[in-house]
Structures are given as C-alpha cells and as structure tokens.
A and B are shown apart, each in its own frame.
Chain A
Amino acid sequence: MTVLGTFALWAALLFGCWTAAIAFFADWRSRPVLAAAVTRGVYATCAALLVATAALWRGIFAHDFNIEYVWAYTSRNLPSYYLVSAFWAGQQGSMLFWAVILSIFAVLAQTLTSARQKHLLPYVAGVTSIVVSFFVSVMLFGHASPFLRMAVTPPDGQGLNPQLQNPGMMMHPPLLYLGYISITIPFAFAIAALMSRSLDTGWIVAMRKWALASWLFLSIGITLGMWWAYVELGWGGVWAWDAVENAPLMAWLTLTAFLHSVMIQEKRGMLKRWNVSLMIGTFLLSIFGTFITRSGVIASVHSFTQSDIGYFFLALLLVAGVLSFTLLYTRWPMLVAEVQLESLLSRESAFLFNNLALVGLAFAVLWGTLFPIISEAVSGTKITVAKPFFDQVNDPLGLFLLLLTGIGPLIAWRKASAANLQRQFIVPTTCGVVTVALLVAFGLRDMYSLVALGLSGFVLGTVAQEFYRGIRARITLHSENFGAAIINLVSRNRRRYGGYIVHVGIVIYFVAFTGLAFQVKKQIELSPGESETIRSPFGHTYQLKQMGVSQYTRLNRHVTAAPLEISRNGVVLGRLTSERRQYLDSFGNKLFETATEVDIRSDLREDLYVVYAGSPDGTERSQFTVMVNPLVSWFWIGCGVLIVGGLITMWPGGPQVRTQRRRAVAQSGYSVPLAGVAE
C-alpha cells in the first residue's frame, strides 16, 4: 500500500506540474486541444490523489503498524469511526486530505462553471494545480508523507489522542479544512480574471457560490471548534483568542467583507480593485493561518508537530503574495470604478464602512496574533497580548458591525432621502429601544450587554420588517396565502432573504456571547451524600449531590466516574457524570495522560457544566468545578440558522434573474444602472 501510495503522490505531482505548465505557458487560446489537455490534467491529478487516499485508509483499517502514520495515530482497539478520522488526525494525513479535497474542488470548478465563463477555466486549473502540487511537494520533500515505513513493526499503535476522540473533533478539522481549501477556488477565479484581462463581473458570477461555500464551511468549522473547546477542554468557554483560533477567524472576516463588497461591484461597478485585493488577501490569510499553526512560530495551546513544513507555507505565502499583487498592479488601470460614491447616506457607503470594520477587525486580530514576533523583532523581548486585548479592541468594532448589519439592508442605494430613512428605520429603531427598556426593567445594568442586545433587537427588527413587507406585497399583489407568500418570497429572492436569515444567525451569536459574559463558576469538594448549591444568573438555584465515585474499564479506557445528582429549585433533574479517563492500547498499556470528560446539562437558558477534578488521597471525597453558562445553546442554534440561510443563498436554480432585478429596483424606488455584463 505504501508503494502504491507513494507512487500515486509522485504521479499527482507530475500531473499537477504538467497542467500548470500548459495553463500558464502554452497557447491554449488558439489550440483548443491544449485547453482540453488542461482539464484532463486536473482530472488525472485528482484520480492519482484518490488512489493515494484509498491506500492510506487501507493501511489504517488493516492496522499496518509498520506504517509510521498508522502506528502514530491509531491502535487496534480504536473504534472504527475514529479510524476514519485518523486520516486527518496527524500532520501527514491532513496534508494528503488537503491535497485530495482541493483537487476534487478543482474538478468541480472545471465541470460546474457555466459556458459563459469557460475562457477563465484553464487559468483556474493552472492556479489550483500549482496549489495541489505544492501540497504534494510538502509531503514528498518535507518528510511529511503518510506512507513512510519503519524498520520494526510494533504490535500495537500509539492510539488517537483522547481529545480527538470526540464526535465534534471528527467533523471540526475536515470542515475547517474544507473552508480553507475551498478559498483556493474563488482565488483562482480572481487570478484567472486578472490573467485573461476579462475584468467584468463575469468572474464574480462564476465564483460567487464558491465564496459562499467557503464562507459556510469556515463558519461551521469555527463553530465546531468552539463546541469542541467547550465540551472537551473543560474550561467552560468557547473562545480563547488563541493563535490557532484566530487563524481561520481572520480569513472568515475578510471573506465576509468580500461577500458584501462584491454586491457593490455587481450593482454599481465600484470597488473592483478592492474586491480583487480582498480575495487575494483572504487566500493569503488562509495560507498564513496554516503557516502559524504548523510552524510553531507563535506559542499556542495547540502544539502541532513542529517541523520544517511550516516554512514551506511561508515560502508559498511570500511567492503567492508577490506574484498576485504584481499581477494586480499590472492590471490596475483596467479596474477603474464606473461610478463615484454619491452620498455618505447610501447603501454603498454603509457597505464600505462594513468592509472597513471587518478588515479592521481582521487586522486587529492579525496584529494581536503576531505581536509576540513583532515586539521581539523591534525590542528584543517578546510581549504577548491575550483575551483582554482582543476583547477591548474587537468588542466595539463588533458592535459597530452589528449596527451596520441593521442599517445596510434598509438604506437606499446611491442617496438616501429623509423620507427613505424615516420609512425604513422607525420600526427597527423602536425594536432596539424597546429591547433595551425591557432589559433595564428586568434589572440588567451592564453597559456592553445593553448595547449588544439593543443592537440585536434593532437588526432583528430590520429583518422582520423586510420579511413583513415582502410577504404583505405578495399577499396583496398575487393574492397568495401566508405560507405560499413566505415560500415564494424566499425562493424568488434567495440571495436577499437567505442573507437576512444569515444575519439572524449572526445576531444569535452576539446574544450568546453576551450571555456567556455572565458565567458563574464555583469550586466545590464533596464526600458521598454531601451537597452544595450554585445560583444561576437567571435566579435558579441548582443543588448538586455527590453520589460516590465508581471505577470500571470500558472499550479502550479505564474510567473513574463521579456522578452528581442535580436538582433545580428543589426538583430533581437527573445526574451529571463527569469522568477521568485513562486510555489503554489492546495490551492494557497506558496511552496518554488521564483525560477529563465534562458533563453538561443544557437548556435554552443555560448550561450546568460539571468537571470532575479528581479525588485527593484516593478516597471518594472529590473535587469539582461547577459552572452555570447562560445562553450557550444559542451558539449552536445560531450556527444552524446560519447554515439554513447560507444554503438558501446558494441553492441552485431559481427564477430568471431579470424578474429578480426588476423587483429589486421597484423595492428601492430608484433606477439603478447595472454594471458589467448581464448577470
């Protein structure tokens, strides 16, 4: 299997370089046979990588511990679903995962793009092939191949890290990778547009769904990371501003900015240079994120295997940055805006401010993440910043963005009149003010929370008003009933109403973050039968009664379990059993250090979160950390809403664009000159 796998990697490298060479250096414009060869090269690369993938999974499932990778990340008694995820549990495997997924995306980009943008495809194939070849080279030349064999065959493997033995961790890395990887496709379209000098909105139409897909994958991946940190790391939080968390967040922020500013280009022909720059920046940030997580240049709680492969990424980052921006520079005069900004009170301007705030946030995160390196280079001593810094800088910017989320969809294009402002903003502003008044009446006094929740009320008011008006219009114009009206409204304006639903999802995240600020934490120590209470911010009293400590062996681990009986305001709710686990291989040898498993009881208001900290002196008297975390469930609900909204915006098909455009014009009450070719 390793011979086949290694051979497949070499074949993929050869096909990749070949494809890129034809795409960039051969005259495929006048010789269609060469253009066809480029497409076939992409297919061949993908086929080779699929063979390599099959070979690695075969090795993992056959427990061939002579393969270093299989030995290092699995063991005989590892449940089979974790054998699947062991594929991307280690550095070498995740490189292969990255390469194979990218090449599948490259194939999809070649086959799914509409005929009108066919002229971009050879360049797209060229860019994707270079990136795929890069990953294959890292495996082959960076001593990072998953197919390396060892001199001896150990009887059992090292097992999978307990913190990765979690269903969330099965899904979190691949989804985050999918987000990172799919960014390459819109980037490739941007480069293709620059190379081919076809700088109308064609490339944007061709890659819009790819950008949305990357954004959605990144959002889900980041949220799953938050979920994993919450249920697995035992500190009761979701976000620590660690370098590894910041890396995908930065790409997410610039991609969010891009998804908004690209609308301005489509409608008004402005911001062309900015959009191309944002796309290049997003791609570079995704590579940069991989670099900082893999090279260990920045201290992080995640210690990825520190190896030289980080420097491969640094090289890619520099080369891709220099080449992309040089290319952009040479095409600079062709990217002139077709119109000028007409008023500060306009949707264009709201979107521009939104972009500034998003890029400002990304920059603040980047600066904070890099500050240890920057300060060491400047003054010789490292200075780090942590959560307080990011909170201090990002909270105001986040709230400003939330405000713009409410303003952007309602304000008129070009120039908003006083009448427009009055007609559009009375209801949402009232919603915001009423929210704040109610919260104050209920006793909330924290300034930041009031602002955040008031703005959330404002944005929800915006979205509700838009839906209400749209539905009412359909009911009166098409005499539809309410259900039909809402379905037709959304399905005929998927981008618009899907986008609003995404906004609701984002508001829910803000609300959840606000709630988590009211976390209550308590250290307790109990003997069997004893109990202790904790009061939640919502005014409930939880009682926790120690039910003894039990020890048993299960599947691939020794477990020490400490159940607590939970009652709320005197009503028994059940048991929370937090565990300490010692993982074992199939011979009973210890693997890893003891791992803690928390137990959580969630409802829509709050989570009760219990961590068993251990028993001093080996008695049943044991220590617990107990937390009440308000509104945490809403992170996961917000993510669900965001996925629904994202899928609606991306759903293929839909009615003719022309009717959609007429409606958009009628809605805003202005005739809007549309830039570029027909959508």
Chain B
Amino acid sequence: MKPSTKFAAGALVIVAAVSLMIYQGIQSTGKYFLTPSQLIAQTEQDPHFYNMGLKVSAKVVKGSIRRDLANHRVDFSISDGVKTFPVIYLGPSSSIPDTFTDANDIDVVVEGKFGRDQTFHATDVIAKCGSRYEPVMKQQSKSA
C-alpha cells in the first residue's frame, strides 16, 4: 500500500472518530433551549418534557426576585411576554452572578427541570454579564 493511501486511511479514522464523538456528545449532553411559550407548548404536546433537563431563555419579571439567603433559595418569575411561570432556585446565591437583578428586564438563562406543578426548578441561573454594559439611560440618549 502506498504511504499516502495509508495516511488517507489514518485520516479517515480520525475524521470518523471526531464525527462519532461529536454525534454521541450531542446525543448524550445536548439540552433543549426554549422560550417559555415553546416550553409550555412542548409540554402540552408531549408530557416527556416535564422533568426533562433543559434550558429556558427569558426575561426576569420586574420586581419578582425574592432572595432567601438563610435558606439558600431564590424565587423569581420569568416571561417571554406571552407565557410566564415561577422559578425556584435552590443553592448558594453566590453562584448567581451579580448581574442577576429584576431592575430592568434583564435576560436570563435558567437550566433545570420544568415540573408538573408548572414551576421551573432551576439548578443554574445565568444572567448575562455586561462586558458591554447597556446603559440604563439609553432611552434618554436615543432622543438625542
């Protein structure tokens, strides 16, 4: 066999292995990433979506955050303007980023399970960190 053919065979093995690893990786670790409306619609169609590990991207409902430091619990509601549901996060509040506030409609990604109690039980809350912070007074400057 020519060396270039041998190399091609080796290359093919690597490409196949990488593809297989990517495929399996997605099968075993991929998570649905939905909006609240999509999540409600999916659970109505297919009850498997209850208690399935997934992520939801939404906005925090203004004024809904209740931090209970003593019991390591944070309650809040998220909404995409159509559907709204409560979220319970159990865990140290230090693992929630500082940017997580309900002051001005911030975007949040919650990871966890949506229960049959129509409440999202979050294991992780990711608020967008503003490495390019959008100023609060933006409206004022737009009028300029």
Q: Which residues of A contact B (CB under 8 A)?
A: 68, 71-72, 89-91, 148-152, 154, 158, 161-164, 233-235, 244, 299-305, 340-344, 346, 349, 352-353, 356-357, 360, 363-364, 367-368, 371-372, 375, 381-386, 388-390, 392-393, 396-397, 523, 592-596, 611-617, 623-625
Given A152-B144, A371-B30, A381-B32, do A592 and B3 touch, yes or no (CB 8 Å)? no
- The one of B30, B42, B92, B107 in contact with A623, judged by C-beta atoms closer than 8 angstroms, is B92
Q: Which residues of B contact A (CB under 8 A)?
A: 3-4, 6-7, 10-11, 14-15, 18, 21-22, 24-26, 28-34, 38, 42, 55, 57, 68-70, 72, 92-95, 97-101, 103, 107, 109, 126, 128-137, 140-141, 143-144
**Chain B: minimal CB distance from A68 (Å):** 5
- The one of A344, A375, A386, A592 in contact with B133, judged by C-beta atoms closer than 8 angstroms, is A592
- The one of A149, A389, A595 in contact with B98, judged by C-beta atoms closer than 8 angstroms, is A595
Residues of A within 8 Å of B107, CB to CB, are: 303
Complexed CA–CA distance, A343 and B103 (Å): 65
- The one of B21, B31, B132 in contact with A91, judged by C-beta atoms closer than 8 angstroms, is B132
B95 touches A625 (CB 8 A): yes
Residues of B within 8 Å of A382, CB to CB, are: 32-34
Residues of A within 8 Å of B10, CB to CB, are: 344, 349, 353
Q: Is the interface of B mostly helix, strand, loop or mixed?
A: mixed
Q: Is the interface of A mostly helix, strand, loop or mixed?
A: mixed
A614 touches B7 (CB 8 A): no
Residues of B within 8 Å of A593, CB to CB, are: 98-101, 103
B131 touches A341 (CB 8 A): no
Q: Which residue of A lies closest to B106 (CB)?
A: A303
B141 touches A616 (CB 8 A): no
Complexed CA–CA distance, A164 and B132 (Å): 9
Q: Which residue of B lies closest to A150 (CB)?
A: B144
Residues of A within 8 Å of B6, CB to CB, are: 344
B129 touches A301 (CB 8 A): yes
Residues of B within 8 Å of A616, CB to CB, are: 68-70
A381 touches B144 (CB 8 A): no
- The one of B15, B25, B32, B33 in contact with A389, judged by C-beta atoms closer than 8 angstroms, is B25
Complexed CA–CA distance, A585 and B105 (Å): 23
Residues of B within 8 Å of A356, CB to CB, are: 11, 14-15
Excluding A163-B131, A301-B128, A392-B28, 17 further A-B contacts by CB distance (< 8 Å) are A71-B141, A152-B144, A162-B98, A299-B109, A302-B132, A304-B131, A352-B7, A382-B33, A383-B33, A389-B30, A393-B21, A397-B21, A612-B94, A613-B69, A614-B93, A616-B69, A617-B69
- The one of B11, B34, B93, B136 in contact with A158, judged by C-beta atoms closer than 8 angstroms, is B136
A305 touches B92 (CB 8 A): no
A151 touches B144 (CB 8 A): yes
Complexed CA–CA distance, A161 and B133 (Å): 7
B22 touches A357 (CB 8 A): no
Complexed CA–CA distance, A162 and B133 (Å): 10
Given A68-B141, A234-B94, A383-B31, do A302 and B70 touch, yes or no (CB 8 Å)? no
**Chain A: minimal CB distance from B30 (Å):** 5
Residues of B within 8 Å of A385, CB to CB, are: 25-26, 29-31
B129 touches A613 (CB 8 A): no
Residues of A within 8 Å of B18, CB to CB, are: 360, 363-364, 393, 397
Q: Give the top 3 A-B pairs by smallest Cβ distance, nearest first.
A: A613-B94, A616-B69, A303-B128
- The one of B14, B28, B140 in contact with A353, judged by C-beta atoms closer than 8 angstroms, is B14
Given A343-B3, A385-B29, A616-B70, do A72 and B135 touch, yes or no (CB 8 Å)? yes
B21 touches A396 (CB 8 A): yes
B134 touches A381 (CB 8 A): no
A357 touches B14 (CB 8 A): yes
Complexed CA–CA distance, A525 and B93 (Å): 12
A302 touches B25 (CB 8 A): no
Given A371-B26, A392-B21, A623-B94, do A384 and B31 touch, yes or no (CB 8 Å)? yes
Residues of B within 8 Å of A363, CB to CB, are: 18
12 contacts between A and B (CB under 8 A): A68-B144, A154-B137, A161-B130, A161-B131, A234-B94, A344-B7, A383-B33, A386-B31, A393-B21, A593-B101, A595-B98, A613-B69
A384 touches B55 (CB 8 A): yes
